[in-house]
Structure 1
Amino acid sequence: MEGYLDTFGNVLKAIRKERKLTQKMLSQDICSQSVLSRIENGEELPNVLVMQQLCQRLGVTMDQVMVYNSVNVKETDILLESMAYHFGKKEYEKLDELLQRPGLINQLYLDTDIQLYFYYAGSCEFFLHGNCEKALSLLKQGLSYTFKLDKMHVSKEEVQLISCIGKVYGDMGNLEEAEQYLKKSIYLFYRLPNQRGSAELTKIFYNYASFLYQKEQYTLANEQIDCGIHLARQKNSFYYLEELFLLKSRVLHQRKEEQEALTYQQLSAEVKRIANFG
């Protein structure tokens, strides 16, 4: 029984941290925070109802928690970290190679891991292969694994997926759907707990700003760009900073602010140089 307690508690804790939830957020209206702490530390066995409710809030089934214990978690985590690295560096060819590994999808047991698989696959279809229809299908499939309209807590991955779906819709010329998804991603970003914000979310501001720029809504585009730049600087990250600087330069050019436009063009080139050097 002690081994089971350790196993269930450790896995519960690992999934909670993966979801970026605090003990207070997970336990709210289910059990006390102190009870959850004892469960995670293997000091208490939860009753079935509590187990079900905790799993439901985490977006996994009890079976998935049990399976999660028996697989080679470390190997899967290393693979996911490698994919995340290539994705963050926009190395889509290398990412695509990992995604093509035989049986990869069968190595993933958590809904969030499967969601990431479809997120990465959809991104490769869009950026690498230029297949908007397939990209849209994969991105929507990834979102469906965890997202529900009445969810209390959304994840940064869900926000990014919604933004990317909007981006693809925009490239397909479906502007109404594009704007709906892009606006939704910004709205959900501001519902994320502060500690869950991450540098990767600068991309959602770039996506929406690009859409607004294409619609010649330069003031609104500039506001979104500044939000993205602020987040990148707050997180000390170069992720999408080059693109944001370049887009701001174009916005300023449209507004006839040529000197400042040149400054941001130079900043974009400098970020690109530093990122390539790194």
Structure 2
Amino acid sequence: METRVYQKGIGNIICHVRREKEIKQKELCFGLCSDSELARIEMDLRIPDYFLLTQLLSRLGKSVDKFELIQNRNEYHLYRLRYQIMREMQKNDLPKAEKLLKEYAGAKAADKVWHKQYVKWIEAQLCWNSSGDPKKALSLGKEALHCTMPVEKEKEIWKYPLSVTEIQILLFQWHMQLRKGNSCQIEKRLKKALVYVEANITDSREKVRIYPEIVWELSKILWEQEDYEKIYSLCGQAYELLCAENIYIGMAEIIEMLIGSAEKLGKDTDRILRLKNERKAVCWLQKQFGIRYGLDWNGALWDKEIALDYEILYRQRCNCHMTQENAAMQICTQEHLSRIEHGKLIPSETTFRKLAERLQIPQQKIEKTLCTESFAMLEEKNKLTADIVRLDFEEAQKQLEKLKDLLIGEDLLTEEDRKQKQFLKEKEICIRWWKKQMTNQEALEQLREALQCTREHLEGYLLTRTEINILIQMAVVLSSQGDVEEAVRLYTRIMEDYLNSDADIRFHVNSGTVVGNLALALLESGKREEACRYAEEHLRIQAQCGKLNDIVRSLILLGEVGEDEGELLSIRDTEGMCYFAALQLSFLLKENRRYQDLEAYLKAADE
């Protein structure tokens, strides 16, 4: 019997996961929204606010990072402010973070409970970091939690599903209470939180936001008890999770505790030395960028694909060669549409749907939150992508065959079928080309065919993630055969999409790859100054996003751009730390092929 996976609306997915976990509607939406609002969301009759969606999914143990998201101007403004506040707190610029937080709190769109919670939560951290007053910080933390968990006693909270943010606030409160010496009581609470996370947060991308922090706090108590075996076990699991999810936020702290417990237990000295080198590499990165990456990080990873609804409407109307008057007819006034397209007016759900249908925008974009398959299917796709990033093409081939059986039916008639075929085709070409199973010309021809599954031409369109991946792969192939100028043209086309959008370039998951590849292409074409500028921008973007594998690529890229006639001039100036860090982090990520290539290259350079 043929297995077929269809895309579903986000509400349908929320409903499916909720029922799968046997969570009642009133439990899931407690403190967030009414039962009736959740019911409408689950029936796909209401488009959820982005931040409400994040909370609902988090309470279900799932991450919003897996989705391509379309936001309106208000949502994006608050989203960007959260990013800026986090950045200033990382740099320990508390006055600037406080100023941005006031702007956030004063925004008209920030009147919902999840926004009020965020404001109180950041106020609590700013209070603690600036004044060190645990009593006031604890009070603010309790207010923050009460915004979405309005219960009298802490033990009542565990009757409901909890989001990562809510657990983070609990950890903050316990950290404050621990200063009073209640270590026995706090230890029990931390262990309870650990059990909850292990049982209920099954999505590793969501789990990585909270598990290492719980382990760190618990390990500090266990250290006083000299329970080094337990510390080594817990920190080892946290370390593996951070590596698997490609995150270096909190990595230095976890490795530090892992080293300490390993030394106490007399573990293998080579293993300890390796951990020390990895920690040295991570700490060097943090120092280079003046960023404090502790375990108390705020909010989700900045690893999403963001599009703005008004930009999509405008681009599609222009592509259809339709006037504002004709597009708005019997839906809204022409002036109304003009204000929507300029981001000055937020369209109602009904207006947005009608405009999108008239402009023939694919159903996935009409839903604002792009529809997707089940979470399980998304995880399978992400695993395939991760295998390719690690250059593990044997595993990638196995994963590709598995996905082919699940995703593709016999008749590829619908737009969704074409998108699925395009995704798989792009991955298959990538694997085969890297394994030298096809020529450059064959790869380029097949990539063009894959692109035509959804696009006859590129001009004027906002490209999807898969379409951008195809263009990137085409540029890589072109560079490899010496057509550097054509490769630069393709990278520039993608950059135009990013730079012409109001959405920050950091909120596009492929932006780092594009910037890095563009730097290499410019270097090959002799434009060293431009290449250096893009290489530095590449590392800055990746360091701020905290994604390890892209940081490794950035470090190698900086080394290549800094070379002159075979001598590692820029690297010698920093005592070889760029390549040292890249080497250690490649090993940490189990990117064996990249590690071996880099190790061989450095040995040859030393000779």
Same fold (TM over 0.5): yes
The whole-number CA distance in structure 1 between the counterparts of 2:514 and 2:560 is 18
In the alignment, structure 1 residue 187 sits paired with structure 2 residue 187: no
What residue number does 1:135 align with? 443
The number of residues matched between the two structures is 258
In structure 2, the CA distance between the partners of 1:269 and 1:61, relative to structure 1 (3 Å rule), is closer
In the alignment, structure 1 residue 95 sits paired with structure 2 residue 396: yes
Structure 2 SS opposite 1:173: coil
What residue number does 2:473 align with? 164
Query: What is the letter of the counterpart of residue 590 of structure 2?
Result: N
Q: Unaligned regions of 5+ residues in structure 1, if any? A: 41-45
- Alignment partner of 1:275 out of 589, 595, 600: 589
In structure 2, the CA distance between the partners of 1:159 and 1:197, relative to structure 1 (3 Å rule), is farther
| Cα offset, 1:105, TM superposition | 5.0
1:13-43 deviation per Cα after TM superposition (whole angstroms, max 9, x unaligned): 99xx94421256436577685531x699xxx
The whole-number CA distance in structure 2 between the counterparts of 1:271 and 1:95 is 21
What residue number does 1:239 align with? 549
| Cα offset, 1:82, TM superposition | 2.9
1:202-223 deviation per Cα after TM superposition (whole angstroms, max 9, x unaligned): 2212222222222333222211
| Cα offset, 1:201, TM superposition | 2.8
| Cα offset, 1:115, TM superposition | 3.1
- Alignment partner of 2:385 out of 84, 89, 97: 84
More helix by share: 1
The whole-number CA distance in structure 2 between the counterparts of 1:196 and 1:158 is 18
Query: What is the letter of the counterpart of residue 387 of structure 2?
Result: H
The whole-number CA distance in structure 2 between the counterparts of 1:252 and 1:78 is 37
What residue number does 1:121 align with? 428
Q: Which has the larger radius of gyration?
A: 2
In structure 2, the CA distance between the partners of 1:129 and 1:104, relative to structure 1 (3 Å rule), is farther
| Cα offset, 1:124, TM superposition | 0.9
Q: Please provide the CA RMSD for this pair.
A: 4.1
Contact 1:167 1:182 in 2 (8 A): no
- Alignment partner of 1:20 out of 69, 85, 88: 69
Contact 1:119 1:142 in 2 (8 A): yes
What residue number does 1:43 align with? none
Structure 2 SS opposite 1:122: helix
What residue number does 1:204 align with? 514
The whole-number CA distance in structure 2 between the counterparts of 1:203 and 1:90 is 15
Contact 1:246 1:265 in 2 (8 A): yes
Structure 2 SS opposite 1:149: coil
Structure 2 SS opposite 1:254: coil
TM-score (norm 1): 0.72
What residue number does 2:580 align with? 266
The whole-number CA distance in structure 1 between the counterparts of 2:530 and 2:383 is 36
The whole-number CA distance in structure 2 between the counterparts of 1:157 and 1:196 is 17
Moved over 4 A (4+): 7-10, 27-34, 59-62, 71-75
The whole-number CA distance in structure 1 between the counterparts of 2:46 and 2:546 is 34
In structure 2, the CA distance between the partners of 1:74 and 1:18, relative to structure 1 (3 Å rule), is closer
In structure 2, the CA distance between the partners of 1:128 and 1:155, relative to structure 1 (3 Å rule), is same
The whole-number CA distance in structure 2 between the counterparts of 1:155 and 1:99 is 20
Query: What is the letter of the counterpart of residue 140 of structure 1?
Result: R
Contact 1:115 1:143 in 2 (8 A): yes
1:91-138 deviation per Cα after TM superposition (whole angstroms, max 9, x unaligned): 322222222245455259355443322221222122233523333234
In the alignment, structure 1 residue 216 sits paired with structure 2 residue 499: no
Where relative contact order (Cα < 8 A, 6+ residues apart) is larger, the structure is 2
Q: Unaligned regions of 5+ residues in structure 2, if any? A: 1-38, 54-65, 74-307, 315-327, 332-344, 592-607
Structure 1 SS opposite 2:361: helix
Query: What is the letter of the counterpart of residue 493 of structure 2?
Result: K
In structure 2, the CA distance between the partners of 1:215 and 1:176, relative to structure 1 (3 Å rule), is closer
Structure 2 SS opposite 1:20: strand
Query: What is the letter of the counterpart of residue 144 of structure 1?
Result: Q
The whole-number CA distance in structure 1 between the counterparts of 2:498 and 2:396 is 26
Contact 1:198 1:235 in 2 (8 A): no
| Cα offset, 1:235, TM superposition | 0.8
Query: What is the letter of the counterpart of residue 185 of structure 1?
Result: I
Contact 1:159 1:189 in 2 (8 A): no
Query: What is the letter of the counterpart of residue 203 of structure 1?
Result: T
In structure 2, the CA distance between the partners of 1:158 and 1:197, relative to structure 1 (3 Å rule), is farther
| Cα offset, 1:275, TM superposition | 2.0
| Cα offset, 1:78, TM superposition | 4.0
In structure 2, the CA distance between the partners of 1:202 and 1:90, relative to structure 1 (3 Å rule), is farther
In structure 2, the CA distance between the partners of 1:218 and 1:19, relative to structure 1 (3 Å rule), is same
Structure 1 SS opposite 2:408: helix
In structure 2, the CA distance between the partners of 1:88 and 1:198, relative to structure 1 (3 Å rule), is farther
In the alignment, structure 1 residue 53 sits paired with structure 2 residue 358: yes
TM-score (norm 2): 0.36
What residue number does 2:17 align with? none
1:169-204 deviation per Cα after TM superposition (whole angstroms, max 9, x unaligned): 111233332222122223333234228724543221
Mean CA deviation greater in 258-267 or 191-200: 191-200
Contact 2:549 2:586 in 1 (8 A): no
The whole-number CA distance in structure 2 between the counterparts of 1:237 and 1:60 is 28
Query: What is the letter of the counterpart of residue 467 of structure 2?
Result: E
Structure 1 SS opposite 2:590: helix
Contact 2:70 2:365 in 1 (8 A): no
Structure 1 SS opposite 2:69: coil
